[in-house]
Amino acid sequence: MTSQAPVETSGANPEFPETMRRFMERLGFGAKPDRAFPLTGGVSSDIWFVEAKGRRLCIKRALPALRVAADWRAPVERNHFEYAWFQRVAKILPDAVPPLVGHDEAAQMFAMAFLEPEANPLWKRNLLDGKVDPAFAGLVGEKLAAIHAATAGDPKTAADFATDASFHAIRLEPYLEATGRVHADLMPQIEKLVATTAATRLALAHGDISPKNILIGPKGPIFLDAECAWYGDPAFDLAFCLNHLLLKCIPVPGGVDRLAQSFERMVMAYRGRIVWEDPPGFERRCAALLPGLLLARVDGKSPAEYITQDKDREFVRSVARPLIAEPVATLLEVRNRWLQRFR
């Protein structure tokens, strides 16, 4: 949904919001920052770069309606849970989240350190530029599994992130249910995916594990944008990220082999760290969900912006639809079906 993309919006900049100004003052940065401008890349929140008293920060405020073509609304309280996800994960993997500065519960906004892009490039940008590193994908799988393992079966974390309604509004409805309305013949299978995902409560999920929300930090991946944080099915996180590695083959055809290797490295790194349930059962659930997410990125409410040609949309449908109708047992089988048709 967002990233710490260090790009100033084009044209005349709006005034620094008064609520953010007051927030900065309460945090001890004074009433007037040295520099402030909105960042690009966010559809679900207002995100501002702020420089004050020698510190460079990001301030993020949740929006009630997302900036997309479809009517997509979500509770602003997700900002609270995003901040709480960062706090929880900082205790597990301190280097995997941005340093936090403060939270304004009433205004549903928080401040975090701005991570300099030269030292922390955005993974999505690298992938689209053809810089595909399978080893880094393996690190993402490793760190993601560590978060899931550390929170699995934890009653307090489950109570703190009982965000089922928000997760439905931000993920299950706009991705899967909306896609089912387009592909009515697959609605029973898609409804089953929704029901299984909604009913599975095993660990703390991020909900938007995407290359646009992962920085390549000096010490490994840094996760951003945890607005969809939810105590639920960890398979959703892995499937959501693997989905992007397959889809990137379309704009980066020269990187297909390395993207395929990245997919496998992530699966292997993650699968070897599943301790909270039977690994084959987890993988069957993940492999069933992945084609639904593939189809959602061409026919749901949040289509991938780099898939612009009808022939490419039809290609995605040609792979995803049969796999939704008849799910396979392993993630590598999903990948292999994709590669067979792509090549």
DSSP secondary structure letters along 117-128: TTTS-BHHHHHH
Given CA atoms 70, 212, 246, 150 in this order, what sign does their dihedral have? negative
pLDDT digits (tens, 9 = 90+) for 276-327: 999 999 999 999 999 999 999 999 999 999 999 999 999 999 999 999 999 9
Q: Are strands 45-52 and 55-62 parallel, antiparallel or unpaired?
A: antiparallel
Global pTM reads 0.91
Per-residue model confidence (pLDDT) at position 1: 35
Q: What is the pLDDT of residue 8?
A: 43
Structural domains of the chain ordered from first start: 18-113 (3.30.200.20), 123-342 (3.90.1200.10)
Tell me the pLDDT tens digit for each residue of 149-169: 999 999 999 999 999 998 998
CA 152: distance to chain centroid? 19
Give the mean pLDDT of the chain: 91
Work out whether the CA dihedral 130, 136, 142, 148 comes out positive or negative: negative
